[in-house]
Structure 1
């Protein structure tokens, strides 16, 4: 019978392998910050490839945590970028229309877009660090 945390669903070897795998995916997320996000796609692919092997165990929370972190980060970063692009377009219109009001609004919206993107960056980093600490402590993430 499986324990509450699903420890008996995996052999010790399987558990160690999935823990090491998760350490690698967390590391790749951190390294991706120094590669302009180029490595960002690799850990998400890796998480989808192995997540079913951890079903019913505390390790499944780490796969889901990283997948959700990736997708929410993409959505919020995209929203921030779209606001910024829209605002910069408004700034161009304000120059053509010689309108100070449109320019002020555009600058404010550009700031909002940048703030959303910055918040997303910090939130993503927080979730990677929080998840990695939980994995190091051999416990699930919420």
Structure 2
């Protein structure tokens, strides 16, 4: 049986900010391959303490972890790309990282709208 959450206006405002951040992460991700994602990342770090104790806190953490793991895999792909043998593997790593990040953004946005917290 699912539990219905009662949200106050502060939590609703925090949810709206998280929604906007998901959309900005997605826009920077799709239009710059994530190179501009550090901008919403900064806002995630600034807004996360304000949401401590709510489901929105887990969403900020989800977006932050998504950014850093995506960044790590892009760097790994870049290192592989620097070697001639690793070029096809680099493209594979970049493609998988892109798909993984897209999944995380979509899942997070949908779970936020369903009032579900993200796994820590």
TM-score, normalised to structure 1, is: 0.75
Match of 1:79 in 2: 76
Structure 1 segments, 4+ long, off by >3 Å, are none
CA distance in 1: counterparts of 2:36 and 2:73, whole angstroms: 19
Mapped contact 1:31–1:39 kept (Cα < 8 A): no
TM-score, normalised to structure 2, is: 0.87
Match of 2:88 in 1: 111
Higher helix share: 1
CA distance in 1: counterparts of 2:91 and 2:53, whole angstroms: 39
Counterpart mapping for 1:1-142 below 5 A: 12-36=8-32, 37-85=34-82, 87-88=83-84, 106=85, 109-142=86-119
Q: Rg larger in 1 or in 2? A: 1
Structure 1, unaligned runs of 5 or more:
1-6, 89-105
Task: Tell me the CA shift for residue 33 of structure 1.
Answer: 3.2
Alignment coverage as a number of residue pairs:
115
Structure 2, unaligned runs of 5 or more:
none
Q: What is the Cα-based RMSD across aligned positions, in Å?
A: 1.8
Identify the range of structure 1 (11-20 vs 76-85) with the bigger mean alpha-carbon deviation.
11-20
